[in-house]
Amino acid sequence: MLTRSTRLRQLGILLLLIPTQLLAAAGKAEAIVIVADSRSFTGWKAWWTNLYNESHFLFALATIVIIPTLGVILGTLTGLLLSRIGIDLRSRELAEH
């Protein structure tokens, strides 16, 4: 049987050790680096993989510019196509929950 003071001492040691464990785990997670193999590509694909390897910041910037821009262009084209069919794309009856 463990005495109350022993239990409290063990709990104290455990609490002291937890932050160390957390910091160690965080260190390992940050150390993971993914590198894209650009050797098998030419043209824009090679440029893209090189951009990824050189700067994740520029890679992220390019992604958040390309996705919405392309989305708006493709969406507009689809909208034009649907309106050509004759669908009313400007209004709908909004009278119920």
Partner 1 sequence: MDWLYALMPIAGVEIFWPGLIILGLGVGMIGGFFGMGGGWMVTPGLNILGFPMAFAIGTDIAQMAGPALISTARHTRFGNVDYKLGLIMVAGTVGGFEAGAQLIMWLERMGKVDFYVRATYLVLLTLIAWLVFTDVSRKMRKDREARAAGKALDKLSTGIEWHKRLHNIRIPPVVHFQRAGIRCSAWLPISVSFLTGLLAGVMGIGGGLIRMPALIYLIGCPTHLAVGTDLFEVAISGLYGAASYSYKGRTELMAAVIMLMGASVGAQIGSVATKYVKGYGIRIFFGFAVVGCAVSIVFKLIAAASPVLRAFFDKAATVLILGLVTSLSLYIFTRFLLGVREELAAKRMYRASV
Residue selected from 9, 11, 17, 68 as contacting partner 1 according to rule CB under 8 A: 68
The reply to whether 3 sits near partner 1 by the rule CB under 8 A is no
Q: Which SS3 state, helix, strand or coil, does residue 35 take?
A: coil
Axis crossing angle, helix 56-85 with helix 43-54, rounded to the nearest 10: 130
Q: Which is nearer to partner 1, 8 or 22 (CB)?
A: 22
Q: How far apart are CA 89 and CA 78, in angstroms?
A: 11
CB 38 within 8 A of CB 50: yes
Cα–Cα–Cα angle for 84, 76, 80, rounded to 5 degrees? 5
**Alpha carbon 33 to chain centroid, angstroms:** 15
The reply to whether 79 sits near partner 1 by the rule CB under 8 A is yes
Binding pattern to partner 1, positions 31-60, x when CB under 8 A? Answer: --xx-xxx-xx---x--xx--x---xx-xx
The reply to whether 13 sits near partner 1 by the rule CB under 8 A is no
Applying CB under 8 A, the residues found at the interface with partner 1 are: 18, 21-22, 25-26, 33-34, 36-38, 40-41, 45, 48-49, 52, 56-57, 59-64, 66-68, 70-72, 74-75, 77-79, 82, 85-92, 94-97
